[in-house]
Every structure is written in C-alpha cells, then in structure tokens.
A and B are shown apart, each in its own frame.
Chain A
Amino acid sequence: EAGVVQSPRYKIIEKKQPVAFWCNPISGHNTLYWYLQNLGQGPELLIRYENEEAVDDSQLPKDRFSAERLKGVDSTLKIQPAELGDSAVYLCASSLDPASYNEQFFGPGTRLTVL
C-alpha cells in the first residue's frame, strides 16, 4: 500500500515569491492534515480536512496561506507571498476515520527554504 505522497521534496525560493505544495493521502483516508515543523520542534497543525471540508483551519495564517482539497482526495497548500520565517518543513498526514482511533500517517514532507 502506497503511503502519503508529497511533492516537491525540496523547494528554494526568494522572499515574496509564491509557492505550492502537493499531497496525496493514503487511498481511502478521509481525513487529511497539513502540519508545519520548524527545526528542532514537533509539528504543529495548520489545517485539517474531512473529505473536502476544512474543519479546523484556526492555525492557518490566512493572510498568506491557503489550502484546498478538491474532490476530497489530494490537497494543495499555497503560500503567497512567502516570507523568510516560512522556511520550515511542511508535512502532510492522513487518517482513515474515527473508528481507526485517528492514527495518523505522515508523508516525507517538503523542506522550504526562503532566501
């Protein structure tokens, strides 16, 4: 069974440029999460989707970040414009449903460097 797929794995951009990350969850997983991980820290939730609905985006900086999950499968996270402080690893995770006790499975992440 394929795991969570993310692309690109690495991205280097200049500040004020836009950037987008893509995630394909494990097949059949209804819940999708985007996390931000700063160096030496644990991940922090940015947004959670149940199918195509964003049910928790309270931690998403909406002035520059946006996300979508069309058709309730893959998802895109966008930053526009990027700032130096956005340099971090962006992780995508998915889980099956509440009956699975919310075990979350993570992708390899996208490492963003903003110059």
Chain B
Amino acid sequence: KQEVTQIPAALSVPEGENLVLNCSFTDSAIYNLQWFRQDPGKGLTSLLLIQSSQREQTSGRLNASLDKSSGRSTLYIAASQPGDSATYLCAVSPRGLGNAGGTSYGKLTFGQGTILTVHP
C-alpha cells in the first residue's frame, strides 16, 4: 500500500526566503506526482505535475523535483511571498498507463500536507 509523507508538517518563514517542502513515498512504481496548493476552505489547485520519466518541472517561482528511485520529491519556492501562505499537498498516482481500465489507475494517494505561513 502506497504511503506518502510530507515534512515538515508546518513551516513559518519571513517574506523573501527560499524554502523547500519535502514529500516521500514508499512505492516507487508511480505514474506521476502532483503538487497542489489548498487555501483555507477552498479546493485544491494543481501547481505542478511531474511524470515518472521526468526529473523536474518548473513554473514561475516553483520548482519540483522527483527522484523516483529514492521515493522523494521536493517543492522549491523561491523568494516566498505572503500570498504563498497555504497548505501544500503532494500526491502520487500509481503506474497504470498500460492499465487504464484497472481499478488502481488514477487513484491519487496524498500526503497530509505542509502548512506554510509566510509573514511580512
């Protein structure tokens, strides 16, 4: 059974700092890994998706890396801003492009999230 762990559970930093959020997973047979952002009382916003064949993805100040063999991903946020304050969740999807009709395909397993606070 896939298990996803995120460290730290909470992080508070001053504005302008570069920071790293960590995600680890127990089963390396993944199809992709997604990072999401969740604001209080809101749904999830997809930030980055890394396919299993990729090492990293970048979007603006965000960079996500994937080391499938070690079961790790990191989300790097450069020059943090108060507007970055939210809960960040990572989720993995099991390998299944060749098993698209199978029951496990598409099932995202989430970590518990990292609560990020960026103070002015």
Q: Which positions in A face B, CB cutoff 8 Å? A: 4, 6, 31, 33, 40-45, 48, 50, 55-56, 58, 91, 93, 95, 98, 101-109, 111
| B106 cross-chain contacts in A, Cβ below 8 A | 31, 33, 48, 56, 95, 102, 104
Given the known inter-chain contacts A55-B103, A104-B108, please indicate yes or no for A43 contacting B44, CB distance below 8 A: yes
Q: Which residue of chain A is the closest to B6 with respect to CB atoms?
A: A42
| Interface set, chain B 61-120, CB cutoff 8 A to A | 89, 91, 93, 97, 100-101, 103-108, 110-113
Q: Which residue of chain B is the closest to A110 with respect to CB atoms?
A: B43
| A41 cross-chain contacts in B, Cβ below 8 A | 110, 112
| Closest A-B pairs by Cβ, 5 of them | A42-B110, A106-B44, A108-B43, A106-B43, A56-B103
| B49 cross-chain contacts in A, Cβ below 8 A | 101, 103
Given the known inter-chain contacts A101-B51, A102-B106, please indicate yes or no for A91 contacting B43, CB distance below 8 A: yes
Beyond the given A4-B43, A41-B112, could you list 16 further A-B residue pairs with CB under 8 A, ordered by the A residue number? A33-B108, A40-B113, A41-B110, A42-B89, A56-B103, A56-B107, A91-B43, A101-B49, A101-B51, A102-B32, A102-B105, A103-B46, A103-B49, A106-B43, A106-B44, A106-B45
